Amino acid sequence: MTTASQLNLHVRPIAPEDNPHIAQVIRVVSAEFGLTADKGFTVADPNLDHLYELYSERDSAFWVIELEGKIVGGGGVAPLKGSEEDICELQKMYFMPAVRGLGLARELAMQAMDFARERGFKRCYLETTASLTRAVRLYEHLGFEHIPGPLGYTGHVDCEVTMLKTL
């Protein structure tokens, strides 16, 4: 089995020129899992083509994963809109098949939570869908607990899995 360290992978903060590439990753992965815009998933986000600008806002960050110079995944964290000030949201964790199963989602989630903790957030929230079983298992393994309903305003309609973790 190939490991992340055996591949030419690079995790780095998003740059302006990454916008179309990470948006394409999100669109491709969303289509693969049937996460369509009409159901309120990330592909419906009006900021999808402007993630650099979105994550340049205060207390926000987004990282992309490059494989041999090509963007193949990413994820970020930002304050949870419409919630208590001490809650951030883990957001837009998407990975192309070539880099799944290498531990990158775990690594990126940990990096995002460390970033949030350093900025004074006390809790981290996320929304996903039950069909993403590997993602749900990862979040459970990282200490996220299922909560009965959504927090804040994410704009997601069909993300029926809501989870929260104390940082």
| Average pLDDT along the chain | 90
Which residue would you say has higher pLDDT here, 155 or 107? 107
Confidence of residue 18 (pLDDT cuts 50, 70, 90): very high
Residue 2 has pLDDT above 60, yes or no: no
The proportion of the chain whose per-residue pLDDT surpasses 90, expressed as a percent, equals 75
- Exposed/middle/buried for 10, CB within 10 Å: 0-12, 13-18, 19+? exposed
The proportion of the chain whose per-residue pLDDT surpasses 70, expressed as a percent, equals 89
**Each residue of 37-58: pLDDT tens digit?**
555 556 567 788 999 999 999 9
**Domains of the chain, residue spans:** 4-166
Residue 133 has pLDDT above 60, yes or no: yes
CATH topology classification for 4-166: Aminopeptidase (3.40.630)
**Spacing of C-alpha 136 from chain mean position:** 12
Residue 14 has pLDDT above 70, yes or no: yes
**Each residue of 102-115: pLDDT tens digit?**
999 999 999 999 99
What local confidence, expressed as pLDDT, does residue 110 receive? 97
Helix (H) or strand (E) holding 140: helix 133-141
C-alpha dist (Å) from residue 120 to 2, 112, 125, 143, 146: 37, 13, 14, 19, 23
Q: What is the mean pLDDT of residues 127-145?
A: 94
